[in-house]
Structure 1
Amino acid sequence: MPTRKRLPFTVIGGFLGAGKTTLLNRWLREAKGLRMAVLVNDFGALNIDADLIAATHGDTLALTNGCVCCQIGDDLGRALVDVIEATTPFDAVVIEASGVSDPWRIAQIGMAAPELSLEGVIVLVDASAAARQSRDPLLADTLARQLKSADLVVVNKIDLASETALAEARAWVDATAPGTPCIQTAQSTVPLSLLSGLALPPTAHAAAHACGPGCDHHDHHDHHDHHDHHDHHGHAPDHGALFATWSAQPEAVIPAAALRTWLREVPAGVLRLKGVLRTGHGASGGDEWSEVQFAGRHGSLRKAVPPDDARAAVVAIGLRERLPEAALSDFFSH
């Protein structure tokens, strides 16, 4: 029986009313062709469209697009085991943290399973209420712990916040979680591709097409595509202007030690990076390959099998105008 790939999982956190449920609903609707397991605290809050529900089995909802929603109950570990052992493998897992919980504790539960790979912790903040809530002595500690656990902060509901409230919310985020990547949005409009890594398959083909239609690509090695691209997955149109993608197909070996050092000092502006690269030469003369991952503040390097086309590839996503393309090109052009 073939070994399954490690299943990427993402934790969604944030205080009550920050927009977590709305975000999950968006992702479920956008997950066309992607089999995603979403673990939630309460089915009722999701309010999934009836025409999207294929079947209900106890604490599980099967959706017509192949996704599954599972109610966590009191045993997250058991729910994760059920997902891991599913007859038909999932492409990704998204776990909703309760509004008063510490998302990092939930991430640690998932990290204890060797079958899972943490993509990141995303924490939503209500722009219209965050500053006021952060000054409440009964809420301040919980809110700070949530924010400090984030790999990416999403300041949500900016359409409902006054200029003063939004400025205060951003100041609180910057002071509480300095250096953590942060984006602003309304109605929980966040690209699934950015946060789950589902749009970052580590193949040369994917890297060559990462910039979208209209880009000029060639077949020679060590080719770099430094183009911003618009997302074509049904997201709000402004996200095409908000995010940028960089990709490369380096031919040379990049030593694993150098990659590990680089992962500890990833240039500011990179939100997500994934790739499969040559990292050494084996005793038999063949190349050694590694999968490199980076999300928010966490990076990892693991041994990998060569891609089918034996081409190295790496893709990065960041905020437009902040993605450090020159620094990425400089390092990956070894």
Structure 2
Amino acid sequence: MTAASATIPVTVIGGFLGAGKTTFVNHLLRSGGPRTAVLVNDFGEVNVDATLIESHDGTTMTLTNGCICCSIGTSFIDTICRVLDAAVPFERIVIEASGVGDPWKIAEIALIEPSLRLGRVIVLADASRIAQLIDDARVGDTVRSQFERCDLVLLTKIDLVEDETLAAARATVRRLRPDVRIVEAAQGAMATLETLETAAAASGFRADAVEAAIDHSTTFKSWAYRRAGRFDRARLACAVDKLPPQLLRLKGSCRLADEDDVKVFQMVESVWSLSPADIAQAETGIVLVGVGTADMPPPAELDAILDRALAPAGAVS
């Protein structure tokens, strides 16, 4: 990597599946501020307004505000190298960790690379689910580990829960990290990154060496569903009810019969929604990506469930 005359601050964003990381990243990309490189696991999870995109080469979206949004893909180090070697230096790097990953494993890169300076490790927690998640035998260890070395917890979706649930969420975070700063956020009312970084103390953690990457395939499985057709809305509702509880998260783009616009499909456990896509999608069919526990049924079985939601060919306008 090419050393810079001044180090670039790195902010790492973590949080379990469905905590709101995509919403937060979208908010950052639209907020302007310093020239920023945002590194995400998959472009398919970041719906940036089409008016903000200047160019898109499949790996990097160049934005009209001078920022970029890069897909981490299979090589995190290669992506960092591309950012550091940019002709016009970036003033800040924001990295979104995987929903089942440990954000500290990414933060360690900023500690050993001379061109980078670790700023904050921010973990998002869904106020409606965090109390249950940490005691879940399937995912509890993964969720708890995400909080171990963060500087700040962003407690999201506080406007969607009752006071009792919100109090339980606060208490849960306090049990995990009694000393950590908590900032609360409603849907559509995220704080700016500058505000959050000011609210959090600089990370006091330091690493002697970067540990080898953890293989999450022993705990979690991923599944991709791709079809050229469209869903029937009523059939889709029935199919989602048949999906197994081991499927924790399902997200992507699709079209519905008799509707032309692209929809963003999101499901966290049994709660799902369809919303208009914020960006013109290149995909013409259905592309969904799911994450589940290691005992999730095989892909063919999951495919068969969603195939029953496809609209008959004659029903598609």
In the alignment, is residue 162 of structure 1 matched against residue 162 of structure 2? yes
Match of 2:202 in 1: 295
Match of 1:193 in 2: 194
Match of 1:80 in 2: 80
Match of 1:144 in 2: 144
Contact 1:11 1:106 in 2 (8 A): yes
Match of 1:31 in 2: 32
Q: Deviations over 1:246-291 (max 9, x none)?
A: xxxxxxxxxxxxxxxxxxxxxxxxx35xxxxxxxxxxxxxxxxxxx
Contact 1:11 1:96 in 2 (8 A): yes
Match of 1:114 in 2: 114
Q: Using the alignment, how far apart are the partners of 2:93 and 2:48 within structure 1?
A: 18
Structure 1 residue matching 2:118: 3-state secondary structure: strand
Alpha-carbon shift at residue 109 of structure 1 (Å): 2.1
Match of 1:5 in 2: 6
Q: Using the alignment, how far apart are the partners of 1:67 and 1:153 within structure 2?
A: 25
Alpha-carbon shift at residue 195 of structure 1 (Å): 3.5
Contact 1:180 1:296 in 2 (8 A): no
Letter in 2 for 1:132: Q
In the alignment, is residue 102 of structure 1 matched against residue 102 of structure 2? yes
Alpha-carbon shift at residue 165 of structure 1 (Å): 1.5
Q: Using the alignment, how far apart are the partners of 2:76 and 2:160 within structure 1?
A: 34
The verdict on how the C-alpha distance between 1:297 and 1:191 changes in structure 2, with shifts beyond 3 A counting, is: farther
Structure 2 residue matching 1:295: 3-state secondary structure: coil
Q: Using the alignment, how far apart are the partners of 1:49 and 1:97 within structure 2?
A: 22
Contact 2:149 2:205 in 1 (8 A): no
Structure 2 residue matching 1:23: 3-state secondary structure: helix
Q: Using the alignment, how far apart are the partners of 1:3 and 1:178 within structure 2?
A: 37
Match of 1:20 in 2: 21
Structure 1 residue matching 2:145: 3-state secondary structure: helix
Structure 2, unpaired ranges of 5+: 207-317
Please show how residues 219-238 of structure 1 align to structure 2 within 5 Å: none
Q: Using the alignment, how far apart are the partners of 2:174 and 2:77 within structure 1?
A: 33
Structure 2 residue matching 1:108: 3-state secondary structure: helix
Q: Using the alignment, how far apart are the partners of 1:176 and 1:156 within structure 2?
A: 17
Fraction of identical pairs, as percent: 46
Q: Using the alignment, how far apart are the partners of 2:171 and 2:93 within structure 1?
A: 32
Contact 1:123 1:154 in 2 (8 A): yes
Larger RCO, structures 1/2 (Cα 8 Å, 6+ apart): 2
Q: Deviations over 1:69-128 (max 9, x none)?
A: 000011111111111111100010000001000000110123221100000100000001
Contact 1:39 1:71 in 2 (8 A): yes
The verdict on how the C-alpha distance between 1:15 and 1:3 changes in structure 2, with shifts beyond 3 A counting, is: closer
Alpha-carbon shift at residue 3 of structure 1 (Å): 5.1
Letter in 2 for 1:21: T
The verdict on how the C-alpha distance between 1:297 and 1:166 changes in structure 2, with shifts beyond 3 A counting, is: farther
Q: Deviations over 1:277-333 (max 9, x none)?
A: xxxxxxxxxxxxxxxxx525469xxxxxxxxxxxxxxxxxxxxxxxxxxxxxxxxxx
Alpha-carbon shift at residue 42 of structure 1 (Å): 1.1
Contact 1:9 1:196 in 2 (8 A): no
Q: When the two structures are superposed, what TM-score results if normalisation uses the length of structure 1?
A: 0.58
Q: How many corresponding residue pairs? A: 204
Structure 2 residue matching 1:179: 3-state secondary structure: coil
Q: Using the alignment, how far apart are the partners of 2:146 and 2:205 within structure 1?
A: 17
Q: Using the alignment, how far apart are the partners of 1:135 and 1:52 within structure 2?
A: 40
Match of 1:57 in 2: 57
Structure 1 residue matching 2:45: 3-state secondary structure: helix
Alpha-carbon shift at residue 58 of structure 1 (Å): 2.8
The verdict on how the C-alpha distance between 1:113 and 1:3 changes in structure 2, with shifts beyond 3 A counting, is: closer
Structure 2 residue matching 1:143: 3-state secondary structure: helix
Please show how residues 233-244 of structure 1 align to structure 2 within 5 Å: none
Q: Using the alignment, how far apart are the partners of 2:87 and 2:144 within structure 1?
A: 39
